[in-house]
């Protein structure tokens, strides 16, 4: 069985789905690894480095298992073999047409977004590994755009107080943002509608903002707020946000438009030169003034909405992602490197978003 590592075509996507360090691990499982020429270019990994690690350079699209980062384009789906397995970020909840196209092409597709968030699947959890990168990078972006220091400084020219940073949504990205903001010397505060994360927020050295609104949903995720809860949350947040130099937003509800947490009124109340980094841009944004993919300045506040922060730090993002995919591949093959898809397995069944019938047959 061949594992194919293809070159990403999405503009700005510099990650690669497998790194040389993990080629040998798949080869030892009895798999052949074929890498498309230039697949590692975005992370400065030459084809020869993959070859030295035991991979072949060739047509990776014809492999039995194809590893990808971004969802395939229609042309790319046409290059896949019928009966192939595809693994990647496939946007299963929003790209209904893309998933249907994979199904029609006879591809058994596994979306990393759909891997259940259970303990046994932690090593495969690409949402978490890439969210960590995004949370970290969001803070660096905020620090870069802010017109003042993050840390407290005592200098001959005067004392600078630390920046106040608020992170809305304390999931994986949010917690990493809080930890990074703390390391940069700012005074971070975290907020979420899942009260159980308060201790996690405090454990990274941040304060917990308690607004008295709880919304715990299924599978450890938040639920959507009711109309009344939403209005109350916005009112309380608008009041709280005036104290912060930086607001980083990461709040998502699976399959829904991202909740609006930062209203225009809240932005107007922030200090001049403040920064909002909205990580929910792809799902509509958490800030009312967000323009997905752009930086805008409104009421003297810079609002950034980067759409693919992990691709801006492709080295470690790829390494972590490759480890996630390798674990999933190992779950899909038997001891001799043959395909062995067990739909009785909760992870396999949860992650499979197309071609399940054929895969089971
Ligand atoms: P996510 O990206 O879906 O959402 C980010 C955060 O936004 C979440 O913490 C969510 O509660 C919050 N949020 C949603 N609506 C909000 C609102 N209106 N106001 C404020 N905050 C709001 O979340 P995630 O980072 O993917 O994490 C989801 C869950 O999965 C968490 O419970 C996390 O601990 C869990 N998880 C479990 C494992 C595991 O293996 N057990 C691994 C990773 C994550």
361 confidence band (pLDDT: 50, 70, 90): very low
Q: Hey, what are 69's tokens?
A: 């980062």
Q: What is the pTM of this model?
A: 0.95
Counting ligand 1 atoms within 8 A of each CB, the residue from 115, 116, 117, 129 with the most, and so the one to mutate, is 117
Alpha carbon 334 to its chain centroid, in Å, reads 29
Cα 170 to middle of ligand 1, angstroms = 7
Residue closest by Cα to atom 37 of ligand 1 = 117
Q: Lowest-pLDDT range, 130-144, 219-233, 271-285?
A: 219-233
Q: List ligand 1's pocket residues with C-beta within 6 A.
A: 117-119, 122, 125, 127-128, 131, 168-174, 192-194, 220-222, 225, 250-254, 259, 261
122 annotated active-site? yes
**Mean pLDDT over each residue of the chain, to the nearest integer:** 96
221 classed as catalytic: yes
- Phi and psi of 193, rounded to 5°? -90, -5
What phi and psi values does residue 49 have, to the nearest 5 degrees?
-70, -40
Nearest CA to ligand 1 atom 7: 251
- Nearest CA to 248 among 175, 162, 153, 195? 175
pLDDT surpassing 90 at residue 357: no
pLDDT of residue 82: 96
Determine which one of 9, 52, 94, 122 is catalytic.
Answer: 122
pLDDT digits (tens, 9 = 90+) for 187-210: 999 999 999 999 999 999 999 999
Taking the CA of residue 220 as reference, the ligand 1 atom at the shortest distance is 32
Residue 97, Cβ density class (10 Å: 0-12 exposed, 13-18 middle, ≥19 buried): exposed
SS3 (DSSP) at 336 = coil
Residue 254 pLDDT level (bands cut at 50, 70, 90): confident
Structure tokens at 305: 């909405």
Q: Determine the distance separating the centroid of ligand 1 and the alpha carbon of 194, expressed in angstroms.
A: 8
Give the mean pLDDT of 86-105: 96
The pLDDT tens digits for 170-186 are: 999 999 999 999 999 99
Residue 200: active-site member: no
Answer yes or no: 97 catalytic: no
ipTM exceeding 0.90, yes/no: yes
- Please give the pLDDT value at position 217: 87
Distance CA 114, CA 119 (A): 14
- Under DSSP, is residue 11 helix (H, G, I), strand (E, B) or coil? coil
Check whether 359 has a pLDDT greater than 60.
no
Catalytic residue (one of 29, 59, 103, 221)? 221
Residue whose CA is at the smallest distance from ligand 1 atom 13: 251
**Atom 28 of ligand 1: nearest residue by CA position:** 221
Nearest residue to 359 (alpha-carbon basis) of 103, 76, 92: 103
Pick the residue with more confidence: 101 or 221?
101
Tell me which of 7, 14, 25, 125 is the catalytic residue. Answer: 125
What percentage of the chain exceeds 90 in pLDDT? 95
Whole-angstrom Cα distance, residue 85 to residue 194?
Answer: 36
Catalytic residue among 14, 25, 128, 191: 128
User: Is the predicted pLDDT of residue 360 greater than 50, yes or no?
Assistant: no
Which residues in 125-159 are b (16+ Cβ under 10 Å) and which e?
bbbbbbbbbbbbbbbbbbbebbeebbeeeeeeeee
Q: Which residue, judged by its Cα, is nearest atom 27 of ligand 1?
A: 171
For residue 358, is pLDDT > 70? no
For 252, residues 6+ apart whose C-beta sits below 8 A from its C-beta are 169, 171, 222, 258, 280, 283
What would the pLDDT profile of 323-349 be if each residue is shown by its tens digit?
Answer: 999 999 999 999 899 999 999 999 999
At 52-83, the pLDDT tens digits run 999 999 999 999 999 999 999 999 999 999 99
Residue located nearest, by CA, to atom 33 of ligand 1: 171
* Non-local CB neighbours of 281 within 8 Å, separated by 6+ positions: 290, 292, 293, 305, 306, 307
Catalytic residue among 79, 117, 236, 358: 117
Q: Which parts of 186-277 fold into alpha helices (H)? A: 198-203, 227-241, 264-268
* 280-321 pLDDT tens trace: 999 999 999 999 999 999 999 999 999 999 999 999 999 999
Distance 175 CA to ligand 1 centre (A): 10
Return the higher-pLDDT residue of 305 and 356: 305
Provide the H-helix boundaries in the chain. Answer: 20-28, 47-52, 74-79, 96-104, 126-145, 172-183, 198-203, 227-241, 264-268, 314-332, 346-351, 356-360
Determine the atom of ligand 1 nearest the C-alpha atom of 252.
Answer: 4
Q: How far apart are CA 308 and CA 216, in angstroms?
A: 27
What's the pLDDT score for residue 282? 92
């Amino acid at each position: 069985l061949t594992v194919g590592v293809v070159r990403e075509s999405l503009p700005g996507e510099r990650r690669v789905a497998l790194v040389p360090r993990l080629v040998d691990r798949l080869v030892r499982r009895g798999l052949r690894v074929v890498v498309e020429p230039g697949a590692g270019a975005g992370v400065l990994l030459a084809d020869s480095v993959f070859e030295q690690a035991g991979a072949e350079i060739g047509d990776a699209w014809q492999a039995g298992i194809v590893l990808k980062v971004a969802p395939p384009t229609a042309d790319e789906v046409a290059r896949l073999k019928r009966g192939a397995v595809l693994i990647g970020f496939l946007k299963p909840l929003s790209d209904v047409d893309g998933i249907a196209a994979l199904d029609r092409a006879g591809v058994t597709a596994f979306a990393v977004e759909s891997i259940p968030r259970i303990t046994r699947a932690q090593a495969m959890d690409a949402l978490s590994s890439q969210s960590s990168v995004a949370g970290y990078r969001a803070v660096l972006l905020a620090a870069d755009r802010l017109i003042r220091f993050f840390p407290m400084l005592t200098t001959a020219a005067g004392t600078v107080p630390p920046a106040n940073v608020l992170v809305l949504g304390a999931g994986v990205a949010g917690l990493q943002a809080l930890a990074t903001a703390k390391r940069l010397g700012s005074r971070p505060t975290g907020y979420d509608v899942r009260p159980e994360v308060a201790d996690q927020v405090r454990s990274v050295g941040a304060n917990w903002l308690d607004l008295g609104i709880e919304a715990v949903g299924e599978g450890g995720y938040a639920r959507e707020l009711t109309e009344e809860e939403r209005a109350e949350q916005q009112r309380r947040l608008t009041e709280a946000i005036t104290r912060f130099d930086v607001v980083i937003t990461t709040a998502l509800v699976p399959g829904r438009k991202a909740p609006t947490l930062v209203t225009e009124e809240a932005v107007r109340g922030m200090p001049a030169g403040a920064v909002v980094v909205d990580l929910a841009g792809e799902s509509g944004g958490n800030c009312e003034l967000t323009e997905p993919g752009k930086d805008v300045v409104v009421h003297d506040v810079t609002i950034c909405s980067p759409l693919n922060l992990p691709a801006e730090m492709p080295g470690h993002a790829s390494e972590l992602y490759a480890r996630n995919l390798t674990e999933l591949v190992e779950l899909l093959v038997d001891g001799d490197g043959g395909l062995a898809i067990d739909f009785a397995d909760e992870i396999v069944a949860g992650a499979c978003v197309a071609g399940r019938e054929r895969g089971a047959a």
